[in-house]
């Protein structure tokens, strides 16, 4: 059963990589988000295939999918829904927004103001939405795949730390290689047919069960917690050489996601146990966006992703 499910994931990713060239890491991360039921933030310049990658993966997986384009004039009700009064019936009815789906693509999430970004918080954390006086449960699985442009671009609103912490991983993507970009020229997207579904909801639930049974030794759990605590300046494990570079470290959510994604990485690696090497692979994506650097560190061009990996390597 394990080999069969692993093969299904591999085939799904292989088909996706025939459509999106040069972004293998992004496709792997999207699959990890679907299996682990975590939210993924993808940052990159326009035109790198962020939206296409998410829509392609939604077609390959038998999940309900909706996309919403975030703009400066977007309202929270455009995302979660609102109450509508009917003069004929003389009563209110609920109009549900696009957030009521299994896979939500929040396109260019940092182009909307804070009140819209905050509307996602309850849904991402509690998997429920409050409209009027009623609370509505969201579908399961519920995964938000958000894309954002670099904050240096015009018309962007940086996400608050509270919402950044809700994302399982933050992935930074770059331009494809020469060969990958050359392959894009020969891809006829207009004539290409819609890919068939390769993974069903039942398959994902089965894979989640298999992944949850992957063994994690106590020493690996200690390594995870020790690493996350070492990112906090007030922790005894914090490396003194980085004093003055970090304002705030990662939250306990980082421990949870390192633990869950580590199991998935081990599963895809064909192992029935998690090793420190599996954890180290995902340290920058899980911890990098959770660390808040000081102003001095930003001036010195210190990268939080690189810094998180250096801290982790000192905890082994």
Among 188-197, 220-229, 273-282, name the one with the lowest average pLDDT: 188-197
Q: Residue 191: what pLDDT?
A: 47
Q: Residue 61: what pLDDT?
A: 83
Kindly report the pTM of this predicted structure: 0.85
In terms of pLDDT, which residue wins out, 91 or 28?
A: 28
CA angle 67, 69, 70 (to 5 degrees): 130
Q: Are 267 and 2 in contact (CB under 8 A)?
A: yes
d(CA 155, CA 142): 29
Distance of CA 269 to the CA centre of its chain: 21
Architecture of domain 2-202: 3-Layer(aba) Sandwich (3.40)
Tell me: the pLDDT tens digits for 72-129? 888 888 888 877 877 777 777 777 878 888 888 888 888 887 788 777 777 888 888 8
Q: Residue 190: what pLDDT?
A: 44
Output b/e per residue, 136-154; b: 16+ Cβ within 10 A: eebbebbbbbbbbbeeeee
Q: In this model, does residue 155 exceed pLDDT 70?
A: no
Q: Residue 260: what pLDDT?
A: 94
In percent, the amount of the chain with pLDDT more than 70 equals: 95
Nearest-10 crossing angle of helices 201-212, 2-17: 120
Section 244-269 average pLDDT: 92
Domain ranges of the chain: 2-202, 214-313
In terms of pLDDT, which residue wins out, 264 or 117?
A: 264
The helix or strand, by DSSP H or E, that contains position 102, with its residue range, turns out to be: none
Q: Evaluate whether the domain defined by 214-313 bears CATH number 1.10.8.80.
A: yes
Residue 137 DSSP label: E
In terms of pLDDT, which residue wins out, 239 or 196?
A: 239
144 to each of 106, 165, 282, how far by Cα in Å?
7, 13, 19
Q: Residue 225: what pLDDT?
A: 94
Q: Residue 286: what pLDDT?
A: 93
Tell me: the pLDDT tens digits for 172-209? 888 888 887 787 777 665 445 667 778 888 888 889 99
């Amino acid at each position: 059963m394990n080999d069969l499910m692993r093969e299904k994931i591999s085939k799904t990713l292989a088909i996706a990589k025939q459509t999106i060239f040069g972004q293998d890491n992004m496709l792997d991360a999207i699959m990890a988000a679907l299996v682990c039921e975590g939210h993924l933030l993808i940052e990159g310049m326009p035109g790198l295939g962020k939206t296409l990658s998410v829509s392609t993966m939604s077609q390959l997986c038998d999940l309900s999918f909706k996309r919403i384009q975030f703009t400066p004039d977007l309202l929270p009700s455009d995302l979660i829904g609102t109450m509508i009064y009917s003069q004929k019936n003389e009563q209110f009815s609920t109009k549900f927004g696009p957030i009521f789906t299994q896979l939500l693509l929040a396109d260019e999430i940092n182009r909307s103001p804070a009140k819209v970004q905050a509307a996602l918080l309850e849904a991402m954390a509690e998997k429920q939405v409050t409209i009027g006086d009623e609370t509505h449960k969201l579908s399961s699985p519920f995964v938000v795949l958000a894309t954002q442009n670099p904050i240096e671009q015009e018309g962007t609103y940086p996400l608050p730390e509270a919402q950044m912490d809700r994302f399982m991983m933050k992935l930074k993507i770059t331009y494809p290689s020469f060969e990958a970009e050359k392959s894009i020229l020969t891809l006829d997207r207009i004539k290409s047919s819609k890919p068939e579904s390769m993974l069903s909801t039942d398959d994902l639930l089965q894979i989640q069960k298999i992944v949850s049974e992957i063994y994690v030794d106590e020493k690996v759990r200690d390594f995870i917690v020790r690493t996350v605590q070492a990112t906090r300046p007030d922790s005894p494990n914090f490396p003194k050489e980085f004093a003055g570079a970090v304002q705030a470290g990662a939250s306990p959510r980082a421990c949870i996601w390192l633990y869950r994604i580590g199991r998935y990485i081990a599963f895809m690696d064909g192992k029935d146990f998690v090793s420190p090497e599996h954890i180290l692979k995902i340290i920058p994506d899980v911890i990098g966006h959770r660390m808040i650097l000081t102003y001095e560190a930003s001036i010195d061009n210190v990268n939080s992703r690189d810094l998180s990996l250096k801290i982790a390597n000192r905890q082994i």
